[in-house]
Structure 1
Amino acid sequence: MRQPTLYLPHGAGPCFFMDWEPPDTWARHRAFLENLPATLPERPRALLVISAHWEAPQFTVQKHPAPPLVFDYSGFPPHTYQLTWPAPGAPLLAEQVAGLLQAAGLACGFDERRGFDHGVFVPLKLAFPEADIPCVQLSLRADLDPAAHLAAGKALMPLRDEGVLILGSGNSYHNMQVMLRAWQSGALTTHGLDFDAWLTETVTQADAVERERCLIAWSSAPGAREAAPREEHLIPLLVVAGAGGNAPGAKIFEDRVLGAVQSAFRFG
């Protein structure tokens, strides 16, 4: 059965695996990720993840047969550097991904040493705790060009009919200075509401041409540069939107945490 494509907020570092005050800070987000497999049409054959935390000069696909974890966060409790998520890689799928991108005129290389960064293993340790589904990570292209990432998603769309679940991992609001101040002060204000409203309206737009036009021009949306001072956490959404085809997307989750609104979206 055809798999959907998903854009997931992955939280803040290893947030789901440490203590917070109040204790339920990440409870709704954690429950959303844990319940995610039940929303799929069937168990995926493989996972293809586009994380905000890997950029390369050209699209680059992970080809490690047993990727280690990359603990690319700092300042967290020691036990968060002992987390495990031993999902196997899928070198043959990596070759297929590269072939589809290259056929669409998008240069793509391989990285045979790259491990899973926290944009992959933190959310997927909750969604797929058994770590028994092969997983491949695809980089962002370092220019973060929206049109190129939308085109990459379109090129990857055939994988959905082969049981591959395409996941974009980022955060729809990623202004860490604002979020840190809100957390430290205990302020009840929620940031990012204007941009989240625009993003939701755009993703759910029925007209595919207009939806793509708006997504490509995302930086002109209300509150865009407050929500994404640098857009690496938003660009994975462009890939999954492209892979989603012509059908409109749907918002499947919204949370308000650390003074900001975070949303997840599904296509198909």
Structure 2
Amino acid sequence: MNNTQLPTFFISHGGGPWSYIDDMKKQFAKTARELSQLPASLTCKPTAILVITGHWEESEFTVSTAASPPMRYDYSGFPEYTYRIKYPAPGSPALASRVRELLGQAGISSKEDPHRGFDHGTFVPLFLMYPDASIPIVMLSLKSDYDPLEHIRAGEALKLLRDEGILIIGSGLTYHNMRGFGQADATPVSEQFEQYLNEAISEPNPVNRAEKLINWETAPAARLTHPREDHLIPLMVVVGAAGNDVGRRIFVDKVFNVAMASYRFGD
């Protein structure tokens, strides 16, 4: 067991396979730089990574169990070569089993998927963080009911992983309205909602923090920012796993007139 507790992160992962496309990488230059520098901020190298991805939802929490996960090219309209990208990180059946064990101990039912591959919410940021693809990765789905409290409780069940050398990452976006990207009025909308999120994750009392996030729909421009909250809910799992650790904004990138923030919990 690793004696150093790892932090946990929520990352705004951007659009499509941008980290593999030169022109898009220039647009996301700040995100690319920050993610590439993130591993150096950790006190130790993770033994494995658990990704809660906004691109996977099931009726129950579901864990990827493949030892060699395939790729999922879950985007369209990009250059042909982006459908041949390989991010050959191994999976970890042992970690997948541990995730299900911890969820079960908390009374949370789960399933497993031996065929699930890396979606772009997983491989795009991790390619920047760990380009050698040497660290095992397991993915955890969202529950399709999007219940914020249920996802916070799942994170609480998994927080012990942070003491076991596991890096927990929620991959989504602080703004995800496909009709809004590139529109001038998206800027104030995305900034207003992100300000609410930043205040919520910075709340030192974990009970008050959870309450603010459970009631996210009361935030300014909430439904303009997330007509469907699939890219927001990974944050709830991260907040649960954070325990008493206060969150902080680590960077905000502005792409397609939209503010996209990423957060860190713990040192």
User: Structure 2 length as normaliser, TM-score?
Assistant: 0.95
Q: 2:213 aligns to what?
A: 215
Runs of 4+ that moved beyond 3 A: 187-191
* Pairwise CA distance, 1:146: 0.2
Instruction: Provide the residue aligned with 1:205 in structure 2.
Output: 203
Q: Distance in 2 between matches of 1:191 and 1:216?
A: 20
The one-letter code matched in structure 1 to 2:227 is: P
Aligned equivalent of 1:226: 224
Aligned pair partner of 2:137 in 135, 142, 156: 135
Seen in structure 2, the aligned counterparts of structure 1 residues 225 and 162 have a Cα distance that, compared at 3 Å, is same
Residue of structure 2 aligned with 1:170, choices 150, 169, 172: 172
1:16-31 → structure 2 map (5 Å cutoff):
16-20=19-23, 24-31=26-33
Alpha-carbon displacement from aligned partner over 1:34-83 (angstroms, at most 9, x marks no partner) = 11101111100100000000001100000000001100101111111121
Equivalent in the alignment of 1:122: 124
Map of 2:41 onto structure 1: 39
Contact 1:190–1:256 (CA under 8 A) maintained in structure 2: no
Match of 1:3 in 2: 6
Deviations 1:105-149 (A, max 9, x none): 111011011111111001101111010011100000111110000
Given that 1:192 and 1:227 are in contact with CA atoms closer than 8 Å, whether structure 2 keeps it comes out as yes
Residue type of the partner of 2:247? Answer: G
CA distance in 1, matches of 2:30, 2:95: 33
Q: Distance in 1 between matches of 2:247 and 2:63?
A: 26
Q: CA RMSD in A?
A: 1.4
Identity %: 47
Q: Which amino acid aligns with 2:147?
A: D
Task: Tell me the TM-score normalized by structure 1.
Answer: 0.95
Which of 142, 157, 160 is 1:158 aligned to? Answer: 160
Q: Find the aligned partners of 1:177 and 1:14 in 2 and give their Cα distance.
A: 19
Secondary structure of 2:27's counterpart equals coil
**In 2, Cα distance between the equivalents of 1:206 and 1:258?**
32
Amino acid aligned to 1:6: F
Question: How many residues end up aligned between the 2 structures?
Answer: 263
